[in-house]
Amino acid sequence: MTSIPPRRSPPSAKHGRGVAPAPAPSSSGAVSPPGTVPLWQQMQQVGQALQAIRGGRSGTAAVEAVEPRLRPGVQALLFQVLRNLGRAEALRAQLAARKPAPAADALLCAALALAWDANTAPYEPFTLVNQAVEAAKRAPATRAQASFMNACLRRFLRERDALVQATDADPVARWNHPAWWIQRLRKDYPEAWEQILLANNAHAPMALRVNQQKCSLAQYQQALSAINLIAKQVGDCGLELDHPVPVHTLPGFAEGWVSVQDTAAQQAAPMLLRGLDLSQPLRVLDACAAPGGKTAHLLEQAPPGSPLHVTALEVDASRSARIHDTLGRLGLHAQVLVADAAEPDTWWRAHCGGAHFDAILLDAPCTASGIVRRHPDVRWLRRESDIAQLAQLQACILAALWPLLKPGGRMLYCTCSVFKAEGDVQMQTFLAHNKDAQLLPSPGHLIPRTGNKAESVPDNSTGDHDGFFYALLQKLAH
């Protein structure tokens, strides 16, 4: 087993008191008011959010439930907790013979996840312990177990090295992923599974897609440079910032000059449209389209005055509203339908006139196993049985949409998953059952990168990107 590289200290300085400075703005632009926030108060919220995630709630929803002034700091702490939860739970098992009640266990594990490694802890470990105990005392759900938590955490401070060493042999503690997830990656990627897990625990970069209908890549780089932001070009229209910033500080964001989109996801629209004559009327379907990033990119690829017609399909009405928001900010237009891609009888003839599509982009529902570094809750929310269920749904949607593609047309099937069952295996099964489908040159599985160019990771893309799968199909004429 390859050893984990030395841990790096975080860019921010340690804090030794029980008062957190006002956190930096999040990527959503929310900021805390000037002043300080008691760390115990943030710890309370982190514990509650972790308990909600353990109960099946998404990390996004758990963070949105936090009051706005605390949200950025709580999210930063929560993400670090989720990236170290396997280690924390193994340490808690060493410290407590019996698992405490859910609220206390969540707060205890949150403290252990933040404090277990002094090199990466956001505050001094003794400060985190003090504030976690204070948080327990101040909440009705944990007050009765505050003394128990204090004993566990004080023992952890005294015996930290020995306790950590005792958990090193546990793969879940070592890699901070569920055991089934680790086993699945070892099977799918015998040579690269460790590197995938390491990448999953790293911070994702902030990648931008420049709307070249409004400005060139070079012009936008100059605009960033003018406010002291450094960005390197990735792909034809992508930029990767050297550090993340709130979106509202990006030049021209409100005016639609740029969008935030991972560089792997930026490959979808150009891959589907490359070689097509965009000066001619083309009908394109973007299935499972929310929040609309790929829909917008399809439209951005078309020259001014192009007769390209895009239909964006989304089964969830609330998520469909985000497509309208995305297109509105960028000044673009598409036909947006709230409908189920797996049931074309309910929308194809009624809203599309029964006309076949020249191209279809299917960004299918999946485990999201490729975007764990952006959504560290995913690994703890998913169950192994989800893979087979989602693969069945993907096959159902593929079978439903394929007849809507005209002969000679293209379909791009993609998922933000690294599991082979949702990519290579899914596509080989589809090709075996559809003799009129031809696989064109495609990237296949793109595994997440940490930005370390020395990695011996099989890949066919550039930049520091998420995990993705792409298969480009052409429909043969009868």
Q: What is the pLDDT of residue 462?
A: 58
Q: Does 276 fall in a domain?
A: yes
Domain closes at, from 144, 175, 206: 175
Question: Cα separation of 14 and 128, whole Å?
Answer: 11
Active site includes 416?
A: yes
Number of Cβ within 10 Å of residue 328's Cβ equals 12
Q: Does 191 fall in a domain?
A: no
* Residues 6+ away with beta carbon under 8 Å from 462: 234, 235, 263
Q: What is the pLDDT of residue 466?
A: 94
272 and 171 together in one domain: no
Range of the domain at 459: 265-475
Q: What is the pLDDT of residue 455?
A: 42
The angle that helices 125-138 and 39-54 make with each other, rounded to 10 degrees, is 70
Domain closes at, from 157, 175, 193: 175
Question: Cα separation of 78 and 84, whole Å?
Answer: 10
The full length of the chain comes to 478
Instruction: Tell me which of 109, 215, 352, 416 is the catalytic residue.
Output: 416
Question: Cα separation of 129 and 108, whole Å?
Answer: 9
* Residues 6+ away with beta carbon under 8 Å from 90: 167, 170, 172, 173
| CATH number, domain containing residue 164 | 1.10.940.10
36-39, Cβ contacts within 8 angstroms, sequence gap of 24 or more: 37/69, 37/70, 37/73, 38/131, 39/123, 39/127, 39/128, 39/131
User: Which stretches of the chain score pLDDT less than 70?
Assistant: 1-35, 450-462
Q: Does 372 fall in a domain?
A: yes
SS3 of the chain: the string is: CCCCCCCCCCCCCCCCCCEEECCCCCCCCCCCCCCEEEHHHHHHHHHHHHHHHHCCCCHHHHHHCCCCCCHHHHHHHHHHHHHCHHHHHHHHHHHCCCCCCHHHHHHHHHHHHHHCCCCCCCCCHHHHHHHHHHHHHHCCCCHHHHHHHHHHHHHHHHHHHHHHHHHCCCHHHHHCCCHHHHHHHHHHCCCCHHHHHHHHCCCCCCEEEECCCCCCHHHHHHHHHCCCCCEEEECCCEEEECCCCCHHHCCCCCCCCEEECCCCHHHHHHHHHCCCCCCCCEEEEEECCCCCHHHHHHHHHCCCCCCEEEEEEECCHHHHHHHHHHHHHHCCCCEEEECCCCCHHHCHHHHHCCCCEEEEEEECCCCCCCCCCCCCCHHHHCCCHHHHHHHHHHHHHHHHHHHHEEEEEEEEEEECCCCHHHCHHHHHHHHHHCCCEEEEEEEEEECCCCCCCCCCCCCCCCCCCCCEEEEEEEECCC
Q: Does 446 fall in a domain?
A: yes
155 and 269 together in one domain: no
Question: Cα separation of 445 and 424, whole Å?
Answer: 8
The angle that helices 39-54 and 102-115 make with each other, rounded to 10 degrees, is 120
Domain closes at, from 135, 151, 175: 175
Q: What is the pLDDT of residue 478?
A: 72
460 and 316 together in one domain: yes
Q: Does 218 fall in a domain?
A: no
| CATH number, domain containing residue 291 | 3.40.50.150
- Each residue's pLDDT tens digit, 70-111: 999 999 999 999 999 999 999 999 999 899 999 999 999 999
Q: Does 255 fall in a domain?
A: no
b (16+ CB within 10 A) / e for 271-296: bbbeebeeeeebbbbbbbbbebbbbb
Question: Cα separation of 94 and 116, whole Å?
Answer: 13
278 and 171 together in one domain: no
Q: What is the pLDDT of residue 155?
A: 98
How many structural domains compose the chain? 2
